[in-house]
Amino acid sequence: MTFQNSLSFAQKLDSEDPLRTYRNQFHFPKINGKDAIYFTGNSLGLQPKSAKKYVDEIMTDWAELAVEGHFKAEKSWWDYHERFAEKLAPVVGAKPSEVTVMNTLTVNLHLLMVSFYRPTQKRYKIICEEKAFPSDQYMIASQVRFHGFTPDDAVVEVKKREGEHHFRTEDVLEKIGEVGEECALVLIGGVNYYSGQVLDMESITKAGKEAGAFVGWDLAHAAGNVELNLHDWGVDFAAWCSYKYMNSGPGNASGCFVHEKYHGRKDIPRFEGWWGHNKKRRFLMEPEFQPELNVNAWQISNAPVLALAPYLASLEMFAEVGMPALIEKRNRIVSYLEFVLKEIATEVKSNFEIITPAKQEERGTQLSVFLHGQGKELFNYLMENGVITDWREPNVIRLAPAPFYCSYEDMYRFGQVLRSYFGK
């Protein structure tokens, strides 16, 4: 398709968009009395209008049933988390028995590492990416220290080549081969938060497994954004937050995946709790732990249903639409945004370097733009003029047009705001 940087063309794309009605199912913040152009779904997704209804249902049940809401509520609380499995599995390419929702992202990664980081004196190293999201850096360093190793020795970072913005798959595979029998775990972010690069998770997982290591993925920027096939790839474990592309609310509960080959096994160490115990025998209060025969064996505490309710509301929309349709719109709207950026850069004779890969299979719903010659003044101008975006030091703005609620007209309007900065 040949794009045009015009309002009429953007509106035509919107009129042809099969997902256009979903925009009306979200609340938009307003700036200067108008709906904001919202580019930060990669940080916090907008609130689905249905979220309040799902929360209110629980508040009503709590008021009217009190403790009996655990069993007598229409959506009973004691098994509330089980409602996620069928709808969440297709989002991450898993079997329903392999996915659950609990805790928060870094908590889940720590808990999963109890099972999947089991270092020995010979095999103890963790391979991760250079400048991973700080939370992952802290978590990995603390894990190796907990096991008596030092991060300088046990944490091996895959680096980008000098002058390049992206990780090369061959460099990751080479590093796995280099570490070899010393590698206990490969744990990387599936989508790089800074550049928006989608890593070749299938190839990296295969290489890690061939090296005899466990392989896990932090999917904070991947879940609900890119195609995932965790089961078929043979991934051991993964976790993701739900408040970015999955629109569940600030700091909300995390999803996690454990491959079915580890289900029902008692020889796997894990931190155990009541909600991971055999569901049919849970209320017999037995002293010996009997794990559930699926991923719920990794559950520890009863579900925080008030937190889970908005996630379930959003997940209903994912089930209606499906990831293929979201990815199809994602590809087109990100391409249109890229086109608009390049058109405006030419008009204003400025250099906006897009550091996100150009190939669709290597990027998701994010363009990271390096603002050569521009500073935070441009970011502040965008924010003051109706564009909510994200600034990352030293000089990058991240633009994430989430396909559920962003329109092609938003992309055009953003271009006009950007152009106006240079003509002010």
Residues 106-160: tens digit of each pLDDT: 999 999 999 999 999 999 999 999 988 889 999 999 999 999 999 999 999 999 9
On whether both 306 and 387 belong to a single domain, the answer is no
- Reduced to 3 states, what is the DSSP secondary structure of residue 38? strand
On whether both 163 and 16 belong to a single domain, the answer is no
On whether both 403 and 334 belong to a single domain, the answer is yes
On whether both 291 and 260 belong to a single domain, the answer is yes
On whether both 91 and 235 belong to a single domain, the answer is yes
- Dist CA 356 CA 370 (whole Å): 10
On whether both 170 and 300 belong to a single domain, the answer is yes
- Dist CA 269 CA 271 (whole Å): 7
* pLDDT tens per residue, range 336-362: 999 999 999 999 988 889 999 999 999
On whether both 314 and 326 belong to a single domain, the answer is no
On whether both 16 and 75 belong to a single domain, the answer is no
On whether both 185 and 203 belong to a single domain, the answer is yes
For the chain, 424 residues long, the average pLDDT of each consecutive 10-residue run is: 96 98 98 96 98 98 98 96 97 98 97 98 97 92 98 97 95 97 98 96 98 98 98 98 97 97 92 93 89 95 96 98 98 98 92 93 96 82 96 90 98 96 79
Does some domain include residue 11?
A: yes
pLDDT (0 to 100) of residue 392: 87
Of 201, 194, 211, residue with least CA distance to 137: 194
- Reduced to 3 states, what is the DSSP secondary structure of residue 277? strand
On whether both 276 and 327 belong to a single domain, the answer is no
Q: Which residues contact 334 (CB under 8 A, 6 or more apart)?
A: 363, 364, 365, 366, 367, 401
User: Is residue 125 classed exposed, middle or buried when 0-12, 13-18 and 19+ CB atoms within 10 A define those classes?
Assistant: buried
Does some domain include residue 133?
A: yes
- Dist CA 103 CA 133 (whole Å): 19
pLDDT (0 to 100) of residue 352: 87
> Per the structure, how many domains does the chain have?
2
Where residue 34 sits, what CATH number does that domain have?
A: 3.90.1150.10
- Dist CA 59 CA 305 (whole Å): 10
DSSP per-residue letters across 212-259: T-EEEEE-TTTTTTS---HHHHT--EEEEESSSTT---TT-PEEEEE-
- Dist CA 175 CA 94 (whole Å): 28
Query: Which of 269, 302, 321 lies at the terminal end of a domain, its last residue?
Result: 321
Does some domain include residue 180?
A: yes
On whether both 252 and 282 belong to a single domain, the answer is yes
- Dist CA 354 CA 254 (whole Å): 30
Which residue is associated with the tokens 């590698």?
Answer: 183
pLDDT (0 to 100) of residue 375: 73
Where residue 106 sits, what CATH number does that domain have?
A: 3.40.640.10
DSSP per-residue letters across 339-354: HHHHHHHHHHT--EEE
Does some domain include residue 2?
A: no
- Reduced to 3 states, what is the DSSP secondary structure of residue 359? coil
- Dist CA 289 CA 212 (whole Å): 29
Contact by Cβ (8 Å): 155, 128: yes
Does some domain include residue 1?
A: no
Does some domain include residue 258?
A: yes
User: Is residue 187 classed exposed, middle or buried when 0-12, 13-18 and 19+ CB atoms within 10 A define those classes?
Assistant: buried
On whether both 88 and 202 belong to a single domain, the answer is yes
Does some domain include residue 377?
A: yes
**Residue span of the structural domain in which 207 resides:** 53-321
Query: Which of 287, 321, 355 lies at the terminal end of a domain, its last residue?
Result: 321
Query: Which of 321, 349, 366 lies at the terminal end of a domain, its last residue?
Result: 321
Q: Where are the alpha helices (DSSP H) in 51-200?
A: 51-65, 69-72, 85-92, 105-116, 134-146, 151-154, 169-179
Does some domain include residue 32?
A: yes
